[in-house]
């Protein structure tokens, strides 16, 4: 054995050298990975035939040399092809095809928003809003980066877009090169973690299987079934991962913004205040005795109180339902009702805070409607109530809410910042709300997001041409009606006996559906007329093709590793760690360094299937699977901004002006790498950060 290494270890080295050589060669990644798979298999087969790759195994007290390909390369090739045909291909494109369909839809959603210049509008508006504060431009970049991350989910697109739009503006107004590049590169990587993230979608297509396999292996070792050790099937859905990722993503964004403000406080000359618009054009502060803290309290205080009450009721068991001995026990309040009412409460009180001089009666009527719906849901509408019964109790309060919301929205749209920010925010809330609220799965939500992005882009172009947007608005309202009907009625037309309530709901849904489809087709025609649609579709096709070709290439490489027992060797090595948390640390370190040379797609489809069955075999009470997955995602995000090899740094370097050096970018991201490490430590020690929302919100 060469250098004391076994044939399997030498084979793994051959695969690694082939892979990294292919990636560093400059060929497209998909071709490099698939080429590495074929070349490494050919090399291993040749060395195996020459008797140079073998392991020592004891038979009857005698050590014998066993080739890594025991039955020769022909049998190994046939076995690999058989595995591909029977198992791996089916797992990638069969059982998970619905989850993977979300990828092109989310990509389309992000590119449509990017091509319609909505990102540029967001940054300009946020810069006007926060620019007067030292470090305000950096805070604006974080906020816009967060919104773009939640709307695009593509790291490279977000970093490049922010680099092109924000970096020249920050440098022009005296911001230091290091802070500017650091905040842009890091905020752009939030697309890695904030849902709807393509990273989370792709992870969800893999780790669900890994968790199931890991728990089945654990159950076999204990000699019992998975149901006996868990009390439920070993299921980890993409929707659950979206819920788990939301709080960590927002938390990291808050840490970035906090650092920017602290940096500006101590280095005012490197992050000066910038006046890009008229100071307080609405004279809001005069209503609050020139005290901005009172204004902030009036704006966000009701939201904080509402969310706190919601969490308190949920923890106390007064929200949602539980299953005991196969019997569903409903809490007094439903999650859907309280979540929508908290959102409505926020919008009504925000309109009251930003337009205190307007008549308050419409807002008060809307707030009374909110209170009446909550009272009706608690005392008069049981959890198993039909849609008709709900409509009976909700109809009058809903009319009151609509009356209040009509006035509130008109008032809020007078504020430029809200007028620009609200369309993408509403889209994000609709997409995430439908997932987090259990209304639909991520793939259907991705369809909603893609359609919504197309209609937003069309609305923007119609406004530029000073044409009416009435058709698109009616289509958007029809989509909202469809979501409400889907959450409260049984819309299946294949049911034998359909009661009157559901018949009316189905009829209304059909009307709303045709209105929505007409609005979507009209929006597509507008984008075709403006010569934007072709660019959106071309870019979406490129990104989606890249993802799926890399997926196929990664599977080829995985099969090559499996052919000589490399997968089993790695898993056996990992299982030698008795403490599962120590094992997870080892895997995290390996993934961190792999993130320097591999993109997240390759890591997900090459590495996770190998290490997944081991790390997801831990007791979920000790190491929740959603917690493990989000740790991996944040870890990869950290890797992508760590000098000198972070992918985000290369993206930014490609669009940065000549006066910004590579060293400026490296210096700028170092504080944010430290913030990422702090975030990882907090996530490690407080898993509840990731498990809180999946626990509170209903399952998909």
Region 285-302: what's the mean pLDDT?
Answer: 81
Quote the tokens at residue 667: 């210096």
User: Residue 244 above 50 pLDDT?
Assistant: yes
Quote the tokens at residue 385: 């109530």
Annotated domain spans of the chain = 1-94+553-563, 101-281+564-700, 283-414
Pairing of strands 62-67, 327-330: unpaired
pLDDT of residue 1: 55
φ/ψ of 643, rounded to 5, equals -65, 155
Contact between 210 and 609 under an 8 Å Cβ cutoff? The reply is yes
Dist. CA 522–CA 429, nearest whole Å:
23
Quote the tokens at residue 217: 């292996």
Quote the tokens at residue 700: 């998909």
Dist. CA 376–CA 382, nearest whole Å:
9
Q: How is 515-568 classified by DSSP, letter by letter?
A: HHHHHHHHHHHHHHHTT-HHHHHHHHHHHHHHHHHHHHHHHHHHHHHHHTTHHH
Between 391 and 367, residue with greater pLDDT: 367
Predicted confidence (pLDDT) per residue in 203-220, tens digit: 887 888 888 888 888 888
Between the CA of residue 122 and those of 234, 258, 419, what are the distances in Å?
Answer: 42, 20, 10
Length of the chain, please? 700
pLDDT of residue 517: 92
pLDDT classification of 81: cutoffs 50, 70, 90: low
Radius of gyration (Cα) for the chain, nearest Å? 27
φ/ψ of 323, rounded to 5, equals -110, 120
User: Residue 329 above 80 pLDDT?
Assistant: no
Region 309-317: what's the mean pLDDT?
Answer: 85
Predicted confidence (pLDDT) per residue in 246-268, tens digit: 889 888 989 998 998 888 888 88
pLDDT of residue 94: 46
Could you give the 3-state DSSP secondary structure of residue 63? strand
Predicted confidence (pLDDT) per residue in 680-698, tens digit: 999 999 989 998 888 876 5
According to DSSP, residue 231 is labeled: S
φ/ψ of 233, rounded to 5, equals -65, 150
What letters, b where the CB count within 10 A reaches 16 and e where it falls short, cover 520-551? beebbebbeebebbeebeebbeebbebbbbbb
Q: Closest Cα partner for 127 from 270, 260, 275, 285?
A: 275
Between the CA of residue 123 and those of 9, 416, 599, what are the distances in Å?
Answer: 51, 12, 28
pLDDT of residue 46: 83
pLDDT of residue 86: 53
Give the number of other CB atoms < 10 A from CB of residue 470. Answer: 10
Region 513-537: what's the mean pLDDT?
Answer: 91
pLDDT of residue 326: 61
Could you give the 3-state DSSP secondary structure of residue 175? coil
Contact between 77 and 213 under an 8 Å Cβ cutoff? The reply is no
User: Residue 439 above 70 pLDDT?
Assistant: no
Predicted confidence (pLDDT) per residue in 395-433, tens digit: 899 999 999 998 998 888 887 777 777 777 777 777 777
Region 344-364: what's the mean pLDDT?
Answer: 90
Report the phi/psi class of residue 135: left, alpha or beta, with left for phi > 0 and alpha for psi in -120 to 50: left
What 415-419 contacts at long range (C-beta under 8 Å, 24+ apart), as own/partner pairs, is 415/282, 415/354, 416/125, 416/128, 417/125, 417/126, 417/128, 417/129, 418/354
Those residues with Cβ within 8 angstroms of residue 608's Cβ, 6 or more apart along the chain or in another chain: 203, 206, 207, 210, 632
Dist. CA 532–CA 71, nearest whole Å:
57
**Cis peptide bond upstream of 644, omega within 30:** yes
Query: Given 3-state DSSP classes, what are the helix, strand and coil percentages for the chain, each rounded to the nearest 5?
Result: 75, 5, 20
What 543-550 contacts at long range (C-beta under 8 Å, 24+ apart), as own/partner pairs, is 543/107, 543/111, 543/154, 544/103, 544/104, 544/107, 546/29, 546/30, 546/601, 547/103, 547/198, 547/202, 547/601, 548/100, 548/103, 549/30, 550/29, 550/30, 550/33, 550/599, 550/601, 550/602, 550/605
Report the predicted TM-score, pTM, of the whole model to 2 decimal places: 0.75
Between 667 and 570, residue with greater pLDDT: 667
Region 466-483: what's the mean pLDDT?
Answer: 87
Give the number of other CB atoms < 10 A from CB of residue 608. Answer: 23
Q: Closest Cα partner for 694 from 227, 229, 200?
A: 200
Could you give the 3-state DSSP secondary structure of residue 57? strand
Dist. CA 410–CA 561, nearest whole Å:
61
Region 474-499: what's the mean pLDDT?
Answer: 81
pLDDT classification of 512: cutoffs 50, 70, 90: very high
What letters, b where the CB count within 10 A reaches 16 and e where it falls short, cover 572-589? eebeebeebeebbeebbe
Dist. CA 120–CA 382, nearest whole Å:
47
Dist. CA 499–CA 522, nearest whole Å:
35
User: Residue 537 above 80 pLDDT?
Assistant: yes
User: Residue 95 above 60 pLDDT?
Assistant: no
Q: Alpha helices of 225-360 — where are they, by DSSP H?
A: 226-230, 238-266, 292-315, 335-354
What letters, b where the CB count within 10 A reaches 16 and e where it falls short, cover 153-173? bbbbbbbbbbbebbbebbbeb
Predicted confidence (pLDDT) per residue in 136-162, tens digit: 888 888 888 777 766 655 666 677 777
Predicted confidence (pLDDT) per residue in 549-568, tens digit: 777 777 778 778 877 888 77
pLDDT of residue 409: 87
According to DSSP, residue 216 is labeled: H
User: Residue 325 above 70 pLDDT?
Assistant: no
E strand or H helix at 681, and its extent? helix 662-685
Q: Which of 47-56, 102-111, 291-300, 447-456 has the highest mean pLDDT?
A: 447-456
């Amino acid at each position: 054995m060469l250098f004391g290494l076994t044939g399997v270890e030498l084979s793994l080295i051959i695969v690694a050298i082939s892979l990294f050589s292919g990636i560093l060669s400059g060929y497209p990644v998909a071709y490099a990975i698939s080429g590495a798979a074929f070349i490494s298999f050919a090399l291993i087969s040749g060395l195996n035939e020459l008797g140079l790759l073998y392991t020592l195994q004891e038979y009857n007290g005698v050590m014998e040399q066993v080739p890594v390909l025991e039955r020769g390369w022909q049998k190994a090739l046939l076995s690999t092809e058989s595995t591909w045909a029977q198992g791996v291909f089916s797992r990638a494109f069969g059982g998970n095809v619905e989850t993977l369909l979300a990828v092109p839809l989310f990509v389309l959603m992000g590119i449509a928003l990017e091509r319609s210049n909505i990102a540029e509008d967001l940054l300009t508006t946020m810069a006007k809003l926060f620019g007067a504060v030292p470090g305000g431009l950096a805070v604006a970049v974080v906020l816009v980066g967060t919104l773009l991350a939640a709307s695009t989910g593509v790291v490279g697109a977000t970093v490049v877009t922010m680099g092109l739009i924000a970096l020249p503006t920050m440098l022009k107004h005296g911001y230091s090169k290091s802070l500017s590049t650091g905040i842009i590169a890091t905020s752009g990587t939030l697309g890695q973690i904030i849902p709807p993230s393509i990273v989370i979608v792709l992870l969800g297509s893999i780790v669900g299987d890994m968790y199931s396999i890991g728990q089945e292996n654990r159950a076999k070792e204990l000699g019992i079934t998975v149901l006996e050790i868990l009390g439920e099937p070993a299921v980890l859905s993409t929707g659950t991962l979206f819920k788990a990722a939301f709080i960590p993503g927002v938390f990291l964004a808050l840490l970035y913004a906090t650092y920017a403000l602290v940096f500006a406080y101590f280095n005012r000359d490197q992050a000066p205040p910038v006046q890009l618009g008229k100071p307080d054009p609405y004279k809001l502060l005069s209503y609050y005795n020139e005290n901005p803290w009172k204004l902030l309290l009036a704006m966000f205080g009701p939201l904080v109180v509402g969310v706190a009450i919601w969490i308190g009721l949920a923890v106390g068991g007064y929200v949602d339902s539980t299953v005991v001995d196969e019997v569903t026990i409903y809490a007094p309040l439903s999650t859907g009702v309280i979540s929508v009412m908290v959102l409505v409460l926020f919008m009504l009180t925000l309109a009251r805070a930003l337009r205190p001089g307007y008549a308050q009666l419409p807002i008060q009527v809307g707030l009374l409607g909110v209170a009446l719906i909550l009272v009706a849901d608690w005392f008069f509408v049981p959890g198993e109530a039909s849609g008709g019964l709900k409509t009976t109790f909700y109809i009058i309060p809903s009319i009151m809410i609509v009356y209040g919301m009509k006035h509130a929205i008109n008032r809020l749209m007078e504020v430029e910042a809200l007028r620009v920010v609200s369309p993408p925010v509403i889209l994000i809330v609709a997409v995430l709300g439908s997932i987090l609220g259990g209304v639909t799965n991520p793939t259907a939500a991705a369809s909603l997001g893609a359609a919504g992005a197309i209609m937003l882009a069309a609305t923007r172009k119609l406004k530029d041409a000073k044409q009416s947007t009435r058709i698109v608005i009616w289509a958007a309202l029809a989509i909202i009606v469809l979501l409400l009907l889907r959450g409260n009625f049984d819309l299946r037309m294949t049911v034998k006996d359909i009661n009157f309530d559901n018949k009316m709901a189905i009829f209304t849904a059909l009307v709303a559906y045709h209105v929505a489809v007409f609005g979507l087709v009209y929006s597509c025609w507008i984008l075709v007329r403006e010569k934007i649609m072709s660019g959106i579709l071309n870019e979406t096709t490129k990104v989606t093709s890249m993802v799926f070709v890399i997926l196929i290439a990664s599977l080829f490489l995985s099969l090559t590793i499996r052919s000589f027992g490399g997968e089993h060797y790695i898993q056996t090595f990992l299982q030698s760690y008795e403490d599962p948390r120590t094992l997870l640390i080892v895997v995290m370190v390996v993934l961190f360094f792999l993130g320097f040379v591999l993109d997240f797609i390759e890591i997900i489809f090459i590495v996770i299937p190998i290490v997944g069955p081991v790390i997801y075999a831990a007791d979920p009470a000790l190491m929740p699977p959603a917690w493990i997955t989000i740790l991996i995602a944040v870890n990869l995000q950290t890797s992508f901004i760590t000098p000198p090899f972070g992918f985000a740094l290369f993206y930014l370097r490609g669009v940065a002006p000549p006066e910004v050096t590579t060293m400026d970018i490296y210096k700028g991201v170092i504080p944010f790498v430290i913030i990422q490490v702090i975030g990882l430590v907090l996530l490690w020690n407080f898993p509840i950060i990731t498990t809180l929302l999946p626990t509170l919100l209903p399952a998909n």
